[in-house]
Amino acid sequence: MAEEFQALTRAFSGLGGLGVDESTMVSTIAKWQKQPEKRSQFRKGFARFFTPHGSIEKCEDDYMLHLKTEFSRFKNIMVLWAMHPWERDARWAHHVLHKAHPSTIIVEIACTRSSEELLGARKAYQALFHHSLEEDVAYNVKGNYCNLLVGLVSAYRYEGPKVNEELAKSEAKALGNAIKSAGTKGDLLVNDEVIRILTTRSKLHLRATFKHYKEIFGKSIEEDLSSVESLQETVKCLDSPPKYFSQVIDKAFKEGADKRAKDALTRVFVSRAEVDMKEIKEAYNKQYGAKLEDVIAKNTHGYYKEALLSLAGN
């Protein structure tokens, strides 16, 4: 009986991982259907979920909200998986803009999608919400950050193979000079040259620019932008999406990760499964010395775990 209680506690709690173990719950319903005393003993022994309240054990409101989130993970991943990618991106962007969330997700969408995919997301946004994405970004994002985001979501970048190395080197110097002379992070966010380069150049051109930057200044541009998170995120997404997404995944699994960090796990796996999941797994292994599939198996539960493993190609 102790093993049954322990298994059900793990299934209900979601402790030590994301999701819940639905199959254990269902099998326990069948076994305990005519044994209410077992449920009573389970409630008394699960102090984190139930607390004494008069003659009953009360289910804690905070934990009910926690469980609601954990139960919904599998539902959310399946609904998002079934959506058209353009609609998915449009809905994510709209949620960010209208729920006062950090705008990192919009940077991610604008910088890691192809030009056609970003254009498709903008079309879907307009069809769903009767405003343009650019219009809503300009209206909802306050301060200097607005210029960068409007430029990113409006971009239609060249995706051919040609790179002008001399121009890339020249623009690396321009970025370095702007960063070195900036008095505050706000100065960089209103620097027309910085915004122009990051929001209009092709990704291949920018990777060459970032390479020249390190050669010229001795540090990566990512390091030099550590005090300007929005620009640093932009550079990460443009330079190496697999490395960026592996870092997002790692944050989701860290102890004490908040809801946004955990929710990002679903976003990454759904949006990248058919794009660059192989490269993300390689980047994760290189950065953290572990197989992504093993980390998923250890840190998630139930159908949510199975869905993540399937999207990971396991």
- 51 annotated to a ligand binding site: no
- 16 annotated to a ligand binding site: no
- 297 annotated to a ligand binding site: yes
- 45 annotated to a ligand binding site: no
Question: Which residue is associated with the tokens 């934990």?
Answer: 63
- 14 annotated to a ligand binding site: yes
Q: Running DSSP on this structure, what letter comes out for residue 49?
A: T
Q: Report the amino acid identity of residue 4.
A: E
Two tokens, residue 262: 């955990």
Residues 6+ apart with CB under 8 A from 206: 197, 198, 238, 239
Whole-angstrom Cα distance, residue 28 to residue 296?
A: 25
Whole-angstrom Cα distance, residue 23 to residue 276?
A: 31
Cβ pair 232, 225 in contact under 8 A: yes
| Residues comprising the chain, all counted | 314
Whole-angstrom Cα distance, residue 181 to residue 54?
A: 66
In 10 A of CB 171, how many CB atoms?
Answer: 23
Exposed/middle/buried for residue 183 (C-beta within 10 Å: 0-12, 13-18, 19+): exposed
Torsion angle defined by CA atoms of residues 140, 144, 146 and 150, in that order, rounded to the nearest 10 degrees = 170
Task: Provide the annotated binding site.
Answer: 12, 14, 19, 70, 256, 297, 300
Task: Provide the annotated binding site for Ca(2+).
Answer: 12, 14, 19, 70, 256, 297, 300
